[in-house]
Structure 1
Amino acid sequence: MATRRTMGLGVGSVLAMAAAAAACAPMARAERPAPAAAPEVKLFTRYSDTSRIGQPYAKDPSVIRFAGRYFMYYSIPPAKDNRQGGDGFPTGWAIGIAESRDLKSWRKVGEVLPVQQVEKNGIAAPGAIVIRGKVHLFYQTYGNGRRDAINHGWSTDGINFERDPGNPVFRPDPVEATWSAGRAIDAEPFVHGDKLLLYYATRDPEMKVQKIGVASAPLDSAYGKSDWTNLSKHGPALEPELAWERNCVEGASIIRRDGKLYMFYAGGYNNEPQQIGVAVSSDGVTWKRLSDKPLLTDGPPGSWNDSESGHPAAFQDGKRTLLFFQGNPDRGKTWTLAATELGWGKRGPYLKSVK
């Protein structure tokens, strides 16, 4: 996410800037091609947050099951009234928390606010995971351009988080990984064997093309700054190659199925439109696309996700697989989170409603 701070702005300015803000905001907007004949997607659930700007605005979902209920973490925009947040910082971008007992009805139960100096411009794009009875939250700093990085916190109740005093814990070294600008956003943690993998999005040295990399830390470590090894030193795990991906792949979400790892990822900058593709891997480092077409497209004209279907979060709940994602009909003036159910065939996942 890369916009200016909104401290001291009126509601009109906040809304305008929030509409322009995105986890993967383009450096220059490309012309959108004529919309394809996309089918209406059958939704399992739908949720948004009106608490900060008085209209629906929630992005970048991450869903877990913890302590007998489901938690969804997501990005929320600056508050329109410029109220004070954690440690006296203005309430810029932050992380909302909603809970559910059935994955269908959601209730907001809290916020994760900036409290460290490195977080003062805002935090966003959470990635949550449960390890040894604690919720570990990896999330990006906001508004620092190529210096944005991944922070880490943990919680015993899913709502109140302690922070690593050494935050940020990870950003790629641009001297070591010369293909990267050194930025890290869109954290996605995933347990693989005795390692915790951390997927991240970064840009090329010119800050124009968004790509996905991966780092690892020992699973029994504290996931601090010294624990991470960048597995993408010599090149990205995934980079834009297909026409619909334009100059951006981001928002990796990983699940394991039948011994293989599947990455759901967003292609295209926000509202170009951003759409969702799938890649497969055996080691979590080398990935191959399942198709040259997106699994989930933007919706048909006039639909709630006409402008995009983006930033996926795949969630395995027993035998059921849900794909959470963000969408909007108004080029980012509002944002809503939703989920659709996936089925699985010989070729991988498919949308149950449009098989």
Structure 2
Amino acid sequence: MMMYTDTDRGRPMAKDPAVVKHQGRYYMYYSVPPHLDPDRAPAGWGIGIAVSDDLVTWQKVGEVPQEQECERNGFCAPGVISLGGSVHLFYQTYGNGPKDAICHAVSEDGLTFRKNASNPVFRPTGEWNNGRAIDADVVAYRGQLWMYFATRDPLGEIQMQGVATAELDSDFGRDAWTQRCDASILKPELPWEEQCIEAAALVEREGQLYMFYAGAYNNRPQQIGCAVSGDGIAWTRLFEEPLLRNGEPGSWNASESGHPFLFRDEDDRTYLFYQGNNDLGKSWYLSMQEIGWREGLPYLVVMEGS
């Protein structure tokens, strides 16, 4: 069973995983918290980088540096995709409330990133949201790059999903994005989702998009559901209950199984990365569960040692 955390900032904490295969190795990007020592730089949340040869054993190799003015209070929640031999990282500013927005960076080696000069590159418009955009995930679909993001209602209480698109040959800068919705494309409705749907994790299969998403705010518990779409905008839930639940009392993820990322490997096998803890957020760990597919429906593969 995969289990990973990061202790470099004074406590065991790694959140919000995103995984890509690049130049024969697996790269995982994840959120790391502010350092427990306030005199230690950098300030705020950041993004760690780990590598693996087998998707199970991971070694930290660095962090994305805090460089731009919009990152001054911190940044986190990476989404990642490989396009044209480059690694594209989409992430959010943090600590700015309704002003938090999505940023973009690109790398040739998976370790050293060039930040987009127009960062932040996207925040939503319209009276249906409060202007905030977080938890970006991107997928190539129908000849464009589709970016799913979480935002909130005008009162800042309900977390919900929106979507924007850009041309695949663009620089993914601020002028490249077109918002594709004038209302939330998926918002909490089921009892277990409470007031939050966030952390969309996308994969395309046979012309349809599947969205794995986190329902309910952290440690409520947050759990993972799944929805499907034939056009990227109109979504239908596949299940009334979570696909991946939080663990039983005493287990490592008793407080939640949350913030998913869906990674499809070169052999077409798919893996759901997610975060969990059993102490209501005093620590955070990352794990992974293989996803199988049967008649268009995802299911949890029973893994050896799990």
> What TM-score does the superposition give when structure 2 sets the normalisation length?
0.96
Q: Which amino acid aligns with 2:284?
A: W
Change (3 A) 1:319 1:196: closer
Asked if the contact 2:141–2:204 (Cα under 8 Å) also holds between the matched residues in 1, the reply is no
Between 1:90-99 and 1:263-272, the stretch displaced more is: 90-99
Change (3 A) 1:159 1:261: same
Aligned residue in 2 for 1:279: 227
Cα-Cα RMSD: 1.2
Deviation (angstroms), 1:236: 1.0
Asked if the contact 1:212–1:239 (Cα under 8 Å) also holds between the matched residues in 2, the reply is yes
Which of 151, 157, 162 does residue 114 from structure 2 map onto?
A: 162
Asked if the contact 1:328–1:336 (Cα under 8 Å) also holds between the matched residues in 2, the reply is yes
Q: Which amino acid aligns with 2:5?
A: S
Deviation (angstroms), 1:258: 2.6
Aligned residue in 1 for 2:144: 195
Aligned residue in 2 for 1:49: 6
Deviation digits for residues 313-345 of structure 1 (CA, Å, limit 9, x no counterpart): 111111321110000000000000000111111
Aligned residue in 2 for 1:63: 19
Deviation digits for residues 5-29 of structure 1 (CA, Å, limit 9, x no counterpart): xxxxxxxxxxxxxxxxxxxxxxxxx
Which of 91, 103, 122 does residue 55 from structure 2 map onto?
A: 103
Aligned residue in 2 for 1:344: 293
Deviation digits for residues 280-335 of structure 1 (CA, Å, limit 9, x no counterpart): 01111111100111100100010000000000011111132111000000000000
1:115 and 1:82 mapped to 2: Cα distance? 19
Q: Which amino acid aligns with 1:108?
A: K
2:207 and 2:153 mapped to 1: Cα distance? 32
Unaligned runs of 5+ in 2: none
Q: Which amino acid aligns with 1:52?
A: R
Matches within 5 A, 1:146-157: 146-157=98-109
SS in 2 for 1:80: coil
SS in 2 for 1:226: helix
Matches within 5 A, 1:170-319: 170-173=122-125, 177-232=126-181, 234-317=182-265, 318-319=267-268
Deviation digits for residues 77-130 of structure 1 (CA, Å, limit 9, x no counterpart): 012233554xxxx33200000000111110001101221111100000000111
2:65 and 2:218 mapped to 1: Cα distance? 24
Which of 6, 18, 37 does residue 81 from structure 1 map onto?
A: 37
Which of 120, 134, 153 does residue 86 from structure 2 map onto?
A: 134
1:179 and 1:104 mapped to 2: Cα distance? 41
1:144 equivalenced with 2:96 (yes/no): yes
Asked if the contact 1:91–1:113 (Cα under 8 Å) also holds between the matched residues in 2, the reply is no
2:36 and 2:198 mapped to 1: Cα distance? 28
Asked if the contact 1:113–1:123 (Cα under 8 Å) also holds between the matched residues in 2, the reply is no
Deviation digits for residues 248-275 of structure 1 (CA, Å, limit 9, x no counterpart): 0000000112322110000000000000
2:107 and 2:39 mapped to 1: Cα distance? 25
2:108 and 2:40 mapped to 1: Cα distance? 25
Between 1:66-75 and 1:343-352, the stretch displaced more is: 343-352
Change (3 A) 1:209 1:220: same
Deviation (angstroms), 1:47: 0.8
Give the structure with the larger strand fraction.
2
2:64 and 2:229 mapped to 1: Cα distance? 33
Asked if the contact 1:183–1:203 (Cα under 8 Å) also holds between the matched residues in 2, the reply is yes
1:347 and 1:112 mapped to 2: Cα distance? 37
Q: Which amino acid aligns with 1:280?
A: V
Asked if the contact 2:132–2:152 (Cα under 8 Å) also holds between the matched residues in 1, the reply is yes
SS in 2 for 1:171: coil
Asked if the contact 2:78–2:136 (Cα under 8 Å) also holds between the matched residues in 1, the reply is yes
2:87 and 2:38 mapped to 1: Cα distance? 29
Larger RCO: Structure 1 or Structure 2 (Cα < 8 Å, ≥ 6 residues apart)? 1
2:89 and 2:46 mapped to 1: Cα distance? 13
1:93 equivalenced with 2:49 (yes/no): no
1:203 and 1:256 mapped to 2: Cα distance? 26
Q: Which amino acid aligns with 2:196?
A: C
1:254 and 1:299 mapped to 2: Cα distance? 24
Asked if the contact 1:61–1:324 (Cα under 8 Å) also holds between the matched residues in 2, the reply is yes
